[in-house]
Amino acid sequence: MLLWELEHNLTPDGRLVCEVYLDEAAAECAADRRARALGVEL
């Protein structure tokens, strides 16, 4: 099984978070959603 990891510090307090997804598309959607919620342009 292949997993995709999304590591970021885009939390309100800037702490490091690691999220794991089952496929690349889900990881990419999560990254886009998280960035847009914080007003980051991709």
pTM above 0.85, yes or no: no
pLDDT (0 to 100) of residue 20: 97
Residue 34 lies in a domain: yes
Name the nearest CA neighbour of 39 among 12, 5, 19, 21. Answer: 12
Domain count, the chain: 1
Domain coverage including residue 35: 8-12+18-42
Token digits for 7?
């590591």
Cβ neighbors of 17 (< 8 A, separation 6 or more) are 7, 8, 9, 10, 11
- Structural domain contains residue 2: no
pLDDT one-digit tens code per residue, 1-42: 899 999 988 788 989 999 999 999 999 999 899 888 888 877
**Structural domain includes residue 27:** yes
Q: What is the pLDDT of residue 1?
A: 86
Tokens of 14: 């800037």
1 part of a folded domain: no
pLDDT of residue 26: 96
